[in-house]
Amino acid sequence: MASRSESLDEKGAQAALPHKNRSAELDDARTLKMARSTHAYVRGNTVKFYEWLAASPAAARLPKGPPIWICGDCHLGNLGPLSDGNGNVEIQIRDLDQTVIGNPAHDLIRLGLSLATAARGSDLPGVTTARMMEEMVDGYDRALADPEDGEPGPEPEVVRVVRHRAMGRRWRHLARERIDDSAPTIPLGKKFWPLEPEEREALIALFSDPEIKRRLLSIEGADRDRELRLVDAAYWVKGCSSLGLLRYAAIIAIRGGAKRREDFALVDLKQAAAPAAPVAEGAVMPDDPAERVVAGACALSPHLGGRMIAAKLLGKSMFIRELAPQDLKLEVDQFTQGQAVKAARYLAYVVGRAHARQMDDATRNAWRRSLRDQRGLGIDAPSWLWRTVVDLSGSHEAGYLEHCRRYALDQAGKAA
């Protein structure tokens, strides 16, 4: 096989020219994604979530949890199966862009809002949403009581199906899903755009850096005699709230061993930015955004944190993550009443474990007692959680409709 770093140069010269107005196209794509459903709007609007939370009358009633690493954007789509690289798969938090040392109550509210929105999108009655909040708090409490051997309850169908898919996946599945081909090239098109010349040069330099190579090989568990090289790369149009930040897909090849066989891996390079989630007073975190994301991932999702490194590219703070075939996200198109309630309990248990592993026994017990205070009338969920989710549901529904109105007016203006 020819040197692919040279092929990457040739591809850049021969392929379609880079998009002339990439920023505007990405902004349009983000606006369209958020207009597709209320749930998509909730997922893509983390900044507004915290603005509306701060303005909510219920915000004053939030308990002050222990300052720990939180996800900061704990919605349904940011949970899913993750591989530790050694054949073990667990449901963990899979997106830590917003991670900070903050109040764990914020993750509970974000998850509660996401679940409530999914329930409404499935045309489930409000009584089901109330039961989901009850089960969510119970699942979270059980994780705090025993984060190692606690009982999360029955595995919901939506989790069972995605876990089963994850366990049987290999490189060919990842390649066909992400790049539409099992061959080690990235096809340019709707998902992958041509690189700018300076981006191509920067990526070649990054993957030629001895320290980056060493750290990537350590993630792979590869011996020192193995060689790593960049095979192909492209700008990756992916995500929603992060659209507009730098993001690249890269295929790397690792050659070594007795047979000198070459194995391939798909790498995600993503720009880290300042978080929208509030930071706990006096919290000490890495100043570099990518190092903050990696530190949060190591604390909350060990399967993921162990496969991430921070780096610099074009003067931007980036985190690099090798994508495992088993890494998937939960996709909830329609909930039944029973599955919605089971999912609320199970996923809150997952989040509770991520929080609890950072606390000692005394801190966990104190946080449990705090969560049990201010029970609502007629439901077992704390009143602060129920009222905040109800309040934010209204804010997001109104915000979503206004977003759709502006989008329709903009489209009509472009068509005129």
pTM of the predicted model as reported, rounded to 2 decimal places: 0.87
Top-ranked range on mean pLDDT: pick from 39-43, 129-133, 354-358: 354-358
pLDDT of residue 207: 95
pLDDT band at 302 (very low <50, low <70, confident <90, very high): very high
Higher-confidence residue of 372 and 119: namely 119
- Average pLDDT for 228-237: 92
Rounded to an integer, what distance in angstroms lies between the CA atom of residue 112 and that of residue 375?
16
Cα-Cα end-to-end distance for the chain: 52
Residues found in the chain? 416
The yes-or-no verdict on residue 250 having pLDDT over 60 is yes
Give the tens place of pLDDT for each residue, 142-194.
Answer: 999 988 877 787 787 777 777 666 666 665 655 655 555 555 788 898 889 99
Nearest to 68 by CA among 272, 351, 280: 280
The percentage of residues in the chain with a pLDDT greater than 70, rounded to a whole number, is 84
Place 379 in a pLDDT band, splitting at 50, 70 and 90.
Answer: low
Which among 67, 54, 63, 133 is positioned nearest to 374, based on CA atoms?
63
Which residue has better confidence, 170 or 346?
Answer: 346
CA angle 166, 167, 173 (to 5 degrees): 55
| pLDDT attached to residue 171 | 56
Q: Is 379 helix (H, G, I), strand (E, B) or coil?
A: coil
Task: Using the predicted structure, report yes or no on whether residue 201 has a pLDDT greater than 60.
Answer: yes
**pLDDT higher than 80, residue 311:** yes
pLDDT at position 113 over 60: yes
